Amino acid sequence: MIDALIGGTLHATAEQKTGQAGKPFVVCKVRTPMANGESLFVN
């Protein structure tokens, strides 16, 4: 597992899902600006 702090603009509606153990989690797509002026989509 990777722990990260990512800032950006929410690109689509976040979805709540349930894992195999029954615990809820959220999936979303974020457009994150990079230092070189380009953007990166992060799920």
Number of domains within the chain: 1
Model's pTM, two decimal places? 0.64
Q: 26 in a domain, yes or no?
A: yes
Q: 14 in a domain, yes or no?
A: yes
Domain of 29 in residue numbering reads as: 9-42
Helix (H, G, I), strand (E, B) or coil at 16: strand
For 9-14, what is the mean pLDDT? 92
Q: 27 in a domain, yes or no?
A: yes
pLDDT tens figures, 20-32 = 999 999 999 999 9
8 A C-beta contact, residue 40 and residue 20 = no
Q: 32 in a domain, yes or no?
A: yes
Q: 1 in a domain, yes or no?
A: no
Q: 36's torsion region: left (phi>0), alpha (psi -120 to 50) or beta?
A: alpha
